[in-house]
Amino acid sequence: MRAYLPHFSATLIAASLLMGHDQLPLQQPPPRRIVSTSLCGDSYVLALAQEPQIAALSWQSNDSVATTPTSLSTLPQAWDDVERLLALHPDLVVFGAGEGTRAKPFLDKAGIAYITIRWGENFIAVQDNMGTLAQALHVQTPPQATAKTPQRADTPKILYLSSAGGTAGPGTFIDAVIKAAGGTNIITQAGWFTPDLEALSQLSPDLIITSFLEDGYDSVNAPTLRHSMLRTKIKATPHMNIAGKYWPCAGPGLYRATELMADAIRDLP
């Protein structure tokens, strides 16, 4: 199942070539049994591989934050465990960030190829990972459509809130999506963090983006839904919930998240 990815900048692709990955054997034939060990890896595999090539997806592949199609919901599940991986007889293993330390030497001995999806916080990282997996699959990176940024006289201020009450500032892929969608991040503190509720109450965003509220890891009792001030602010402000499945990591779903956010910005008064 292959995806069409919006084009943000040719510079992103050029810059991605500077980033390293696991080495693949030269002249390796196209894989016929791909195994992914992480939710993030699943998103890349599903974007680039044909369904018959996929032998197993990660242990989270049927969670609400996954993008697994119904046609693949009965596939075996995999995780970063040597015995489990060898039992699946893969010819390509796609590891998530930080995975494979123990498994890779055994895969080397068995002659099984592998790559690692690197953690990233921007579209350059997505393009880099897409390029690496595309090379392993012997396919071209999907054609890229143009992302249409809303034409507005102003630049709306966007506040992102997760179900756990967390937010994200500069240097995160949330910030990258906000900018790509035509907004500006009202959060100026860098990185991922849980803001002080009093500080949040002083903010006046034009649009609130929530995520993982309806399909996340937390229950309906999560802080963002439980706290009366946050509920009131969300009700009083233009709001969109973007499904958590589009951005559990910096993966291909960031492009869809950007489109959805751009639509919400376009609908602002």
Summarised one tens digit per residue, pLDDT across range 11-51 is 333 333 333 346 555 557 899 999 999 999 999 999 999 99
Question: pTM here?
Answer: 0.86
Q: Which domains does the chain carry?
A: 10-137 (3.40.50.1980), 157-266 (3.40.50.1980)
Q: What's residue 141's pLDDT?
A: 85
Q: Looking at residues 44-64, what average pLDDT do you find?
A: 97
Angle between helix axes 123-137 and 173-180 (nearest 10 degrees) is 100
**34 against 153, higher pLDDT:** 34
Residue 31 burial by Cβ neighbours in a 10 Å radius (0-12, 13-18, 19+): buried
Angle between helix axes 123-137 and 253-266 (nearest 10 degrees) is 140
Find where tokens 């009450």 sit. Answer: 165
Tens digit of pLDDT for each residue in 163-207?
888 999 999 999 999 999 999 999 999 999 999 988 998 999 999
